[in-house]
Structure 1
Amino acid sequence: MGPVMRALAVTGAMSMAALPVLAQERGPFGGRNGPALPSPLITGPQLPLPPVEGEAPLTLTALFAGSNQPVRSGLAWRIYEDRSDGVRPNIVARSEAADPSFTLAPGGYVATVTYGFATASKRITMAGAALSDRLTITAGALKLSGAIGDMKITPADLAFSVFVPIGTNSEGRLVRSGVKAGELIRLPEGTYHVVSNYGESNAIQRADLKVENGKVTDATLNHRAATVTLKLVAAPGAEAFAGTAFSVLTPGGDTIREAIGAFPQVTLAEGDYVLIARHDGQVFTREFKVESGMDRDIEVVAKAS
């Protein structure tokens, strides 16, 4: 072997011998003084978890009490653990279907169903076999609207409050406020006191309504009221003064409504009123009468004192 070949052989041998040392000195991110990185794991598609041994379906249905009529909408189902140790039970499953199906492990549960403000519950034991059960709800619903004579009031102008009477107090316990006309209010069977507010002043009507099991009570409350437009003018039919402050009072001096503007609108119950208009430091008054269903302008003429 010639001198050149011997030199190449020696260099190659030194390089090969140094390779293991270099590999050991490289860090986990290509630096030095650390072990080499392991090869990345290769995983396949996620497989579904195997079913828990003993799990079985529970199918539930809600019926109106005293009939075989199923409840087909407005339901909220919850399945709880059945605990007797005083600890608050966890919710195991929930659904808003009419006929829900839950897959449950063996054990004790409490099934509850809510229909608006009405609720029913039942203890259920799962033993590894499919089970069907029914819960009975004693409830109905209210659907409210308002009218003046034969004319329906626009739903946006109405708001209802529903109370449960307690003793001699018809408004003993508030069930729901801000109910809109046409809205379905699901309630336990019983008698309720309903207050209807037309506008934002004193146009109010009340009624006691009965909710029957499995039925919708559709009730219209009749108001005796009208909407008036308030104006301060220099002469009858003239342009209204902007920025006028109005106060509507009863003949006894009780304030019913206050408003500011050129021609604010106020809905008032049928009756007699006093209107006070304030503008540029001057005060003007007039008496007026509201007749049910007769919307009109109420003008105060600004007369120099």
Structure 2
Amino acid sequence: MAKFESYERREKQILSKLAEYGIGSIDEAEKITKDAGLDVYHMVENIQPICFENAKWAYTVGAAIAIKKNCRKASEAAAAIGEGLQSFCIPGSVADRRKVGLGHGNLGKMLLEEDTECFAFLAGHESFAAAEGAIGIAEKANKVRQKPLRVILNGLGKDAAQIISRINGFTHVETEYDYFTGELKEVSRKCYSKDPKSPRALVNCYGANDVQEGVAIMWKENVDVSITGNSTNPTRFQHPVAGTYKKERTDAGKKYFSVASGGGTGRTLHPDN
């Protein structure tokens, strides 16, 4: 039987959502996915070993919903999975009120659509969760896309960016921002993978000194979708970058969608979902 954090507070809305698709329990949802040849629980665990139990079951429920809806495109399946994620949001929480699960489903949908060019992780560079997520997306998303999705990490700190690049085999891009002209110059670029064409090598990792440089990096890569981490520096870097970039993109008539990865402060600060 499926068990996870805060089960009692989540059970009612999960079962209600499953019932909409004729699924009687979380265990039945798991069976539906396994009958389709999917081990969603371990797929999630393999992408991010530090994730909570409820995340593994939320994606299992979402995948079962996608199967029941007969989704034939990866982007459609991502949106359906968002319904499962939303059902795991505790009633009355910020995540519930701001529809975080649906937002993450829509985020996945956009990453799989061809008109999305670049996805950014706006996160503290000490966050291995962000690095694991970047690796997972870089390896998986392009399997169903015609045009490869570019993935970058954009965080506070030059040294931290170099270290996280070296640990994970990313390409470290060092920049220098001119505060008088607003121009961003690329100083150096170094790939830390043996194979420069590998998924890890294609992830560009940037370190910024402040919000202004962080926003300039977003423009340099033409980021149109991003997710922010809330572990370190959320009010000092990640959220101001997302908010400022959102305004500038809107003023320029260009699309940009940003989702915050955590609840609480991250949700209440964020420009989008």
TM-score (structure 1 length as normaliser) = 0.24
**Greater share of residues in strand:** 1
Q: Which has the higher contact order (CA 8 A, sep 6+)?
A: 2
TM-score (structure 2 length as normaliser) = 0.26
**Greater share of residues in helix:** 2
